[in-house]
Amino acid sequence: MPDLTATGESGTLYAVILAGGKGERFWPLSTPETPKPFLRFFSDRSLLQQTFDRALRFVSVDRVVLVAGEQHEKVSREQLPELPASQILLEPSGRDTAAAIGYAAMQLPVDAIMLVLPADHLIPDQELFAADVRTAASFVREHGGPCTFGIRPDRPETGYGYIEVGPEALVPGIYPAKTFVEKPDRARAEEYVRHGSYFWNSGIFLWKVSRIRELIARHLPELWEGLHGMAVHGGQGRPSSEEDFRSRYEALPRISIDFGVMQKADRVLVMPASFRWDDVGSWNSLTRVLPLNDDGNLIWGEHTGLETFDCILYGESLTMVTAGVRDLVVVQKGRHLLICHRDYADRLKELLAGLTK
């Protein structure tokens, strides 16, 4: 296990990247072995690699930490050869974001600043993102956090959580959070967009390490006891053996940082982001961020079509031929083939539950 606690000065910024997943949202292109963060949709760099590149705009490589599942160790090392093995924290099983964040927080200097970056987001505005992080980090050094980056909604999205902010800024560009709202129905989402004081919860967080440890101890005492027990038993967060670490980690409660901490914490900050953001959560979401042809189709691979409109077509090794269809998702990878109406693309989890491999 790594020991990063001895490095850094007071207020030093660290970037903690969370990578993993079950590989369901973009099946069959994604799999449990290579879920969304490791896919290359937008360039020759995967979403994980793009997140790493983004982090290096405001921290040095020795202050980047990756949290990933054991099953993703090989692909993580292949995609990030620049990152020392000591800065890759491997989870023996996924226990959701509170455990992953708590595990990372136990490895960092207690007086450091910790930026949490999901590895599966698309943020094309690199300089604007770095500028927002620097502004927020400057305030968090005094305030402590937690701070999250809010995305101004441009549509009534029902798949995201929302945050309502107070009317008065604490400092220019940073507001107090009033309420957290889980995924709303369509009517409420439309109201939030009209209201103007609601933002999407990006899942990008910033806080002092001491503050997030305090909040976990207060609001998730069972998780804190488990994390603290690992640290005490092994010293500086290192269990005495891999078997001990595995058994202790797998006993941690499974809960998200949003439910477990952010919705309960006091003095939560929101910085409305100046950068563009998308969590590219399904095949349909790609049509928001990638170019379409004149018929509204998004196409990878060899395709010949007649009267084909508004489709998402991906062929890894086969030529696709379509005629007289619209609003389909067709994805071929290896021996797997997905064909569904775009209205069903967000229900892949249900579909895969009955898949016999």
The model carries a pTM of 0.93
Amino acid at 164: E
User: 64-69 and 88-91: which strand pairing?
Assistant: parallel
Q: State the Cα–Cα distance between residues 106 and 209, nearest whole angstrom.
A: 8
Counting every residue written for the chain, the total comes to 357
Domain that holds residue 300: 286-353
- Computed on alpha carbons and rounded to an integer, the radius of gyration of the chain in Å comes to 21
Which one of 245, 272, 299 terminates a domain? 272
Residue with tokens 């963060």: 37
Domain match, 126 and 189 both: yes
Domain match, 213 and 304 both: no
Collapsed DSSP state (helix, strand, coil) of residue 13: strand
Residue 278: predicted pLDDT: 95
Domain match, 52 and 129 both: yes
Domain match, 268 and 297 both: no
The tens-digit pLDDT sequence of the chain (357 residues) is 444 544 445 689 999 999 988 889 999 999 999 999 999 988 899 999 999 999 999 999 999 999 999 999 999 999 999 999 999 999 999 999 999 999 999 999 999 999 999 999 999 999 999 999 999 999 999 999 999 999 999 999 999 999 999 999 999 999 999 999 989 999 999 999 999 999 999 999 999 999 999 999 999 999 999 998 887 554 444 555 788 889 999 999 999 999 999 999 999 999 999 999 999 999 999 999 999 999 999 999 999 999 999 999 999 999 999 999 999 999 999 999 999 999 999 899 888 887 754
Domain match, 50 and 145 both: yes
Q: State the Cα–Cα distance between residues 12 and 153, nearest whole angstrom.
A: 32
Domain match, 205 and 313 both: no
Tens digit of pLDDT for each residue in 270-322? 999 999 999 999 999 999 999 999 999 999 999 999 999 999 999 999 999 99
Tens digit of pLDDT for each residue in 63-104? 999 999 999 999 999 999 999 999 999 999 999 999 999 999
What's the domain count of the chain? 2
Q: What percent of the chain has pLDDT over 90?
A: 86
CATH of the domain at 32: 3.90.550.10
Instruction: Find out whether 332 and 320 touch, Cβ atoms under 8 Å.
Output: yes
Q: Is residue 8 part of a domain?
A: no
Q: State the Cα–Cα distance between residues 200 and 278, nearest whole angstrom.
A: 10
